[in-house]
């Protein structure tokens, strides 16, 4: 008979790619968790983990077991809640871009944590282009990411990109070559800003680059460049600049999941996000 707790710890090891990190999450010593994984391999009669100096990765047998383990754990949680009425518990890792985190997460997570106080949340803030690989590697359970069109499949909220500066009509608008502060070229914000400028033959240069929202806001506040944000993320001390600049497009926000059969706790958070985010 397989131990549910053993399978749960195996899933966490698979998600983190590290015995030591997984041990911290489950509250065991690294050696105790390593012994558990060896015991599971003995029960399966197969090698489940490739152990390297950089961590662990799943073997083909490990990948196969992971699919079954995640499905079984989800059914276990659902059965337990249905039979006992027990409160949801567990651990969820949520990825989110920094602008969405500042604009939406206080309300989203505030109401969710109040309803499900026994669920532990881990938040990872990064650009959408960095979050998707983490989803594919199952380092995240789900992520709020951007899509280039608000009409794309799966969009749960539409957002407008806007130019922001320290004043509504900043003096740098008269500069022959407009200085911009943008994130990396792989982001939707960067591509939208450059495309809009080129469409009206407006000369510009990316004078400041930062993957950090705090960095872009600091540059915009300094008055030395104009940046691009989603409208909901514009702080009160900055201004939307509309005169003399081309309109920026609307984008879509979607919630992408790492697993087709997520845990009951992950399902609860996903349902909460999809129901609440459009109303914020």
Closest CA to 93 of 29, 21, 34, 41: 21
| pLDDT above 70 (res 85) | no
For 243, phi then psi, to 5°, come to -75, 140
Q: Which CATH class is domain 87-280?
A: alpha beta
Question: What percent of the chain stands above pLDDT 90?
Answer: 67
Mean pLDDT for 262-273 is: 88
Q: State the pLDDT at residue 27.
A: 82
Residue intervals of the chain classified under CATH 3.40.190.290 are: 87-280
Angstrom distance (rounded) from CA 23 to CA 174: 57
Q: State the pLDDT at residue 86.
A: 60
| pLDDT above 70 (res 118) | yes
Beta bridge partners of 90: 119
Provide the CATH number for the domain formed by 4-84 in this structure.
1.10.10.10
pTM value is: 0.72
Closest CA to 11 of 80, 78, 91: 91
Dihedral of CA atoms 164, 168, 170, 175 in degrees, nearest 10, equals 70
Question: What percent of the chain stands above pLDDT 70?
Answer: 98
Residue intervals of the chain classified under CATH 1.10.10.10 are: 4-84
Angstrom distance (rounded) from CA 71 to CA 259: 9
Mean pLDDT for 138-161 is: 93
* Angle ∠(193,226,156) on CA atoms, nearest 5: 50
Q: Which two tokens stand for residue 9?
A: 């710890």
Q: Which two tokens stand for residue 99?
A: 């602008």
Q: Report CA 198 to chain centroid distance, whole Å.
A: 31
């Amino acid at each position: 008979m397989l131990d549910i707790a053993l399978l749960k710890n195996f899933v966490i090891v698979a998600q983190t790619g590290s015995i030591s990190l997984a041990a911290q999450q489950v509250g065991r010593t690294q050696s105790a968790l390593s012994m558990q994984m060896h015991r599971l391999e003995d029960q399966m009669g197969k090698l489940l983990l490739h152990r390297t100096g950089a961590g662990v990765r799943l073997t083909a047998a490990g990948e196969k077991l992971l699919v079954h383990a995640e499905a079984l754990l989800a059914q276990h949680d659902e059965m337990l809640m249905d039979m006992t009425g027990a409160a949801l518990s567990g651990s969820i890792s949520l990825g989110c871009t920094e602008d969405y985190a500042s604009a939406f997460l206080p309300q989203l997570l505030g109401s969710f944590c109040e309803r499900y106080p026994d669920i532990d949340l881990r938040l990872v803030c990064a650009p959408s282009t960095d979050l998707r690989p983490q989803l594919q590697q199952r380092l995240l359970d789900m992520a709020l990411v951007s899509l280039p069109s608000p009409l794309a499949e799966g969009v749960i909220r539409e957002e407008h990109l806007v130019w922001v500066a320290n004043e509504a009509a900043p003096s740098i608008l008269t500069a022959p070559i407009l200085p911009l502060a943008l994130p990396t070229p792989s982001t939707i914000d960067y591509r939208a800003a450059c495309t809009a400028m080129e469409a009206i033959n407006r000369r510009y240069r990316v004078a400041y680059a930062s993957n950090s929202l705090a960095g872009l806001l600091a540059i915009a506040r300094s008055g030395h460049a104009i940046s691009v944000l989603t409208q909901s993320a514009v702080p009160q001390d900055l201004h939307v600049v509309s005169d003399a600049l081309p309109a920026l497009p609307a984008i879509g926000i979607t919630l992408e999941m790492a697993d087709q059969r997520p845990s009951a706790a992950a399902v609860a958070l996903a349902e909460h996000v999809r129901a609440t985010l459009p109303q914020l």
